[in-house]
Chain A
């Protein structure tokens, strides 16, 4: 399973089924939070992911297998809730304070 150090994260992609709903909602929130750390946050439909898309892929639990297939070398972090899921805190903390993310 790939892993990455928080300080090496420069790009995050939020993947969802269609890439037009929940991922857009989440992207705007995360982009604001992570902008001071120089991390670009974009969004994508899960079936258009590739290994080059981003350092870290965030996606709903239900899509995690498809995301890992599409981007086997990216760290894929699943979440269950769109607002306030602990996964987001884990990612933002690793970026802000350092730490390793596995996924």
Chain B
């Protein structure tokens, strides 16, 4: 398989962000994905809609804002964005310190999500993502898990 561009690149990492509330944090995440050329502005609206129907808080101070099933058509290309909020954002009653925003039309991002799932089970790595001031560390920690690890029996 050809080497694809990374889903999470240096231009998609924003550290030290501040947001007065969840709506503003999701707006920042949506604007970042729009700015990356990954999604149309309508996708950012769907991210707010999804957040209102069901919070994307996943634990350990992390949220994963993303669009709705219907909004997949607004995704130009799959991309992820990382936004860190060191002062915290009130996320429907939960304290969120970092967001991994998702734009995906299929399963392109499964490798990174698999890594994130592992990070959420590792208190030290989760803390590092919430507090690091080095964007390269974010990219290192969230490097996609090798796909063949999960698929070795099916191929």
The chain A residues found within 8 Å of chain B, CB to CB, are: 16-22, 24-29, 31-32, 35, 45, 47-48, 60, 62-63, 81-84
Encoded as 1 (CB less than 8 Å from any A CB) or 0, chain B from 95 to 125 comes to 0000000101001011001101110110000
CB-CB < 8 A to A22: which residues of B? 56, 58, 64
Q: A22-B56, A82-B58 are in contact. Are A28 and B110 (CB under 8 A)?
A: yes
Q: How far is the CA of A48 from the CA of B72 in the complex (A)?
A: 14
Q: A24-B107, A25-B117, A28-B110 are in contact. Are A17 and B68 (CB under 8 A)?
A: yes
Q: A21-B102, A26-B117 are in contact. Are A83 and B60 (CB under 8 A)?
A: yes
Having A25-B58, A25-B116, A28-B110, one finds 5 other A-B pairs with CB under 8 Å, namely: A18-B72, A21-B66, A26-B117, A45-B69, A83-B120
Q: How far is the CA of A72 from the CA of B114 in the complex (A)?
A: 30
Which residues between 68 and 96 of chain B lie within 8 Å of chain A, taking CB atoms? 68-69, 71-72
Asked whether any CB of chain A lies closer than 8 Å to the CB of B2, the reply is: no
The chain B residues found within 8 Å of chain A, CB to CB, are: 50, 53-54, 56-60, 64-69, 71-72, 102, 104, 107, 109-110, 113-114, 116-118, 120-121, 145, 150, 153
Cβ A28 vs Cβ B60 within 8 A: no
